[in-house]
Amino acid sequence: MLLSIFAIVEKIKKSIATVVKHTGSHYIISELPQWELIPAVVRGKLRLSGGSTTNPIAVGDKVEYSVVTDESGIPCGEAVIHSVLPRDNYVIRKSTNLSRQCHIIASNVDCAYLVVTIDRPETKWPFIDRFLVTCAAYRVPVKILLNKMDLYRDDELLMEKVSLFHSIYEDAGYQVMDISVVENFGIDELREQCRQAGISLFSGVSGVGKSSLIKSLDPSLEPKISNISDKHLQGRHTTTFYEIYPLAGGGFIIDTPGIRGFGLVDLEQEELSAYFPEMLRVEDNCRFKPCTHTHEPGCAVIRGVEEGSISLERYNSYLGMLDEESKYR
Ligand SMILES: Nc1nc2c(ncn2[C@@H]2O[C@H](COP(=O)(O)OP(=O)(O)OP(=O)(O)O)[C@@H](O)[C@H]2O)c(=O)[nH]1
Ligand SMILES: [Mg+2]
Ligand SMILES: [Zn+2]
């Protein structure tokens, strides 16, 4: 008798949801844009669409799941994830160029914000360029947020670095937004962009203020923020999980732990220049095709560097990446 009652009230629901948090072997999923969190696990063998990575399921992934529900359809207990749907796009990296292991930072991203700082901590340019190249290669729209502007304003040397930064990346074709969480500068515009975008990813090295930014966009959220602003203590990772937050006014934001190394994944040397917008714009004019833009006569990229329309810093980044890709292949 008891058994038959259970048979009537318990139902199995099968559906599709987005992974909103990943903590070791556990996941939290929600049927975005609804925000109803369901804990989930993987049992047995997972059907995967991509190659092998350290995290077969990433935040942002759409997954097929099943869960036991009560008679009104409310999930009881943990859901089981059965498969990951093909990804529209994703941001992927290797922890070092030597490592074979890839890690997906997030998938199905409408806009990736690379949060950088000129000082405290200083974000290194090769890191920035690797991130930008990866976004281009994996079809993720990307913008740059230059945070902690309050720390640079009264320092002439730092402000020179700020203008150089703007000219290099804006000339290359990227949008660079000045931001200060402390002064609430640029936050309203960013909030509006995030509201319209859908899912926005915040990424960057540790200590640049990714979690602080998320908190300033919606003060009701509680991402973990470092309370140490001492520059010698930067590099301790405050955020340790990948997690999506819903913004009060609309839109979703992914907070991520700071990235240390950013190794490129599966890029052919010949295609690399296509992921530098300023090179892509002119490489049709190179005399030789394909052209590596390193030594060829009549190379439009080299001419651009000589004439100053392509920045030497970005070109050197390109050469560095070419070199490493040939070394570690
Ligand atoms: N002066 C200044 N400090 C800021 C600003 N934004 C963030 N901070 C400080 O920078 C430190 C690091 O901030 P977090 O938000 O924890 O940095 P994070 O990028 O999330 O770091 P991880 O989680 O470790 O990757 C904290 O002490 C913040 O208070 C800003 O605009 N100006
Ligand atoms: Mg953080
Ligand atoms: Zn060329």
Q: What is the pLDDT of residue 53?
A: 81
Q: What is the pLDDT of residue 156?
A: 98
**Domain enclosing residue 38, as ranges:** 2-84
| Residues 128, 226 share a domain | yes
| Residues 206, 165 share a domain | yes
> How far does the centroid of ligand 3 lie from the alpha carbon of residue 31, in Å?
47
Query: What is the C-alpha to C-alpha distance for residues 94 and 72, in angstroms, rounded to an integer?
Result: 45
Position 260 in a domain: no
Note the pTM of the prediction, 2 decimals: 0.92
Please give the number of the atom of ligand 1 that sits closest to the Cα of 202. Answer: 19
Position 151 in a domain: yes
Q: What is the pLDDT of residue 5?
A: 52
| Residues 73, 100 share a domain | no
Q: Which one of 59, 84, 109 terminates a domain?
A: 84
| Residues 247, 281 share a domain | no
Q: Which CATH number does the domain housing residue 134 bear?
A: 3.40.50.300
Q: What is the pLDDT of residue 25?
A: 78
> How far does the centroid of ligand 3 lie from the alpha carbon of residue 134, in Å?
21
Q: Which one of 84, 112, 146 terminates a domain?
A: 84
Residues counted in the chain:
329
DSSP strands (E only) in 138-226: 142-146, 176-178, 199-203
| Residues 115, 58 share a domain | no
Cis before 257? omega within 30: no
Residue nearest to atom 1 of ligand 1 (CA): 148
Please give the number of the atom of ligand 1 that sits closest to the Cα of 225. Answer: 16
| Residues 246, 305 share a domain | no
Position 263 in a domain: no
| Residues 250, 113 share a domain | yes
> How far does the centroid of ligand 2 lie from the alpha carbon of residue 173, in Å?
27
Q: How far apart are the first and last CA of the chain?
A: 65
Q: Are 53 and 93 in contact (CB under 8 A)?
A: no
Q: Which CATH number does the domain housing residue 304 bear?
A: 1.10.40.50
Position 72 in a domain: yes
Residue 252 backbone dihedrals phi, psi, to 5 degrees: -130, 145
| Residues 246, 308 share a domain | no
- Closest to 204 in 3D by CA, of 149, 169, 254, 274: 254
Position 149 in a domain: yes
Q: What angle do CA 258, 27, 238 make, to 5 degrees?
A: 25
Q: Are 164 and 157 in contact (CB under 8 A)?
A: no
* Cβ–ligand 1 contact at 178 (below 6 Å): no
* Cβ–ligand 1 contact at 238 (below 6 Å): yes
| Residues 300, 242 share a domain | no
Q: What is the pLDDT of residue 58?
A: 95
| Residues 79, 96 share a domain | no
Q: Tell me which of 120, 225, 243, 262 to substitute to probe ligand 1's pocket, judged by most ligand atoms within 8 Å of the beta carbon.
A: 225
Q: How many domains does the chain have?
A: 3
Q: Which CATH number does the domain housing residue 6 bear?
A: 2.40.50.140
Position 70 in a domain: yes
| Residues 236, 96 share a domain | yes
> How far does the centroid of ligand 3 lie from the alpha carbon of residue 279, in Å?
8
| Residues 250, 103 share a domain | yes
pLDDT in tens, the chain (329 residues): 455 555 556 789 999 999 999 987 799 999 999 999 999 999 877 766 555 688 889 999 999 999 998 888 888 889 999 999 999 999 999 877 666 788 999 999 999 999 999 999 999 999 999 999 999 999 999 999 999 999 999 999 999 999 999 999 999 999 999 999 999 999 999 999 999 999 999 999 999 999 999 999 999 998 888 876 555 455 577 888 899 999 999 999 999 999 988 888 888 989 999 999 999 999 999 999 999 999 999 999 999 999 999 999 999 999 999 988 776 55
